[in-house]
Structure 1
Amino acid sequence: MVTLSLIHYSENKYWAFKQMQLLPPRLAKTDGCSFAKLLGTGSGFGFSLWPDFSTYALLMKWENEEKAEKFFLNSESFKELKFKSAEIETHFLESLGAHGSWYGKNPFPEKADYAGGKIAVITRARININKLPRFWQFVPKASKAIENAKGLIFTKGIGEWPLIEQATFSIWENEQAMKDYAYTDVHKEIIGKVKKENWYKEEMFSRFNYIKSIKH
């Protein structure tokens, strides 16, 4: 079980920014959670140079759904986030497997069967410093392509560090819609340049059955 919570703030934005440093040590002690990241988000579609200081993403992996529900209902950490924020929407996901790594490890190796229906994707990249100009040169083209993609329900840029550590979270109507986008000329062109020019120091691509969402 994996959850991704999008935390929206209308006030308390400075407090929210400080949680990027203060909250992770508390999350590491959460019962039943083996992976936790509090991530900033970008404005617009896909990767973004411009941060969105009104929204943060909390990505967590759980032993089971019961442990996750307990955190969202009873934990002091989440109660505080809920009190300070305007709205939190949590997406519940089931791993279909991941390729690559996140700081040297694959956090989502489990491989369930695709259940049909909606599918979620998390892509993450750590960009080589000397390749930053080339990477950001092609970001507007990639963002426009995904904005116009058929079958895309939602997407948001997320990440740990601006410029160099970028990720995206997206939800698609079904697996075929996601694959159709992956094989568009624009996407194939950019992926080709990524490989040929060695843009990334580390990358990961992960897919999930989309189970449900809850607004807190």
Structure 2
Amino acid sequence: MQLLPKQFDQIDGCDFAKLLGTGSGFGFSLWPDFSTYSLLINWKTEDHAKQFFKESPLFIELKNKSNSIKTHFLESISAHGSWYGKNPFPSKNNYKNDKIAVITRARININKLTRFWQFVPKASKAIENAKGLVYTKGIGEWPLIEQATFSIWENEDAMKAYAYADIHKEIIKKVKNENWYKEELFSRFNVLKTLQH
């Protein structure tokens, strides 16, 4: 995980790339899942992505070291906030009335870590019981302080029902009022297709 990110600079058509660890269970987690890793890439074009999966020695190496790889092809609908000072998903498209994916990412203020993790079990339980949730996984660059979630929902209504539920709204209110985050990003995507490699 330390060496791989440096190789992304050499990949043709790669605008943004992150190799992320994952957490066990639902949503954010203190406990890592060492069996699963996430590779998040924003491509200039779909052809660049196809070329990577078909010809890249890097992807071939990853495939050979994995029991399975699942790729979700996403199209950015909107993104608010930043990831190390940059919006990695600037393009905007219309929602296609089908499955919708969400990535939420936060860099937590050091002096708010205890407060943040105090509410994690409550948030995780809420998303575990959410209707219309297809898949979710906690992802992140640095344990404890840089956390993200990737989720897929049956449709936008299901996603909004969770986002605007009382429990989630309560936590979001505390995030804002108590200044938990140093940086945050909320992004939505159309799910175009999913491939099993």
Tell me which interval the TM-score lies in, with the shorter structure as reference length: over 0.9
Q: What CA distance in whole angstroms lies between the structure 2 residues aligned with 1:137 and 1:28?
A: 38
Pair 1:114 & 2:111 matched: no
Q: What CA distance in whole angstroms lies between the structure 2 residues aligned with 1:63 and 1:102?
A: 18
Q: What CA distance in whole angstroms lies between the structure 1 residues aligned with 2:9 and 2:192?
A: 25
Amino acid at match of 1:154: Y
Query: How many Å apart are 1:63 and its aligned residue?
Result: 1.0
Q: What CA distance in whole angstroms lies between the structure 2 residues aligned with 1:102 and 1:160?
A: 11
Query: How many Å apart are 1:27 and its aligned residue?
Result: 1.2
The answer for the alignment partner of 1:157 in structure 2 is: 138
Q: What CA distance in whole angstroms lies between the structure 2 residues aligned with 1:36 and 1:44?
A: 24
Pair 1:53 & 2:34 matched: yes
The answer for the alignment partner of 1:126 in structure 2 is: 107
The answer for the alignment partner of 1:80 in structure 2 is: 61
The answer for the alignment partner of 1:142 in structure 2 is: 123
**SS state at 2:3 partner:** helix
TM-score, scaled relative to structure 1 = 0.91
Deviation sequence 1:95-121 (CA, Å, 0-9, x none): 001000000010111110111110000
Deviation sequence 1:40-65 (CA, Å, 0-9, x none): 00000000000101100000001111
Amino acid at match of 1:100: G
The Cα RMSD (Å) is 0.5
What 5-or-longer segments of structure 2 have no aligned partner?
A: none
The answer for the alignment partner of 2:49 in structure 1 is: 68
Structure 1 runs of 4+ with >3 Å offset: none
- Percent identity between matched residues is 76
Q: What CA distance in whole angstroms lies between the structure 2 residues aligned with 1:202 and 1:105?
A: 10
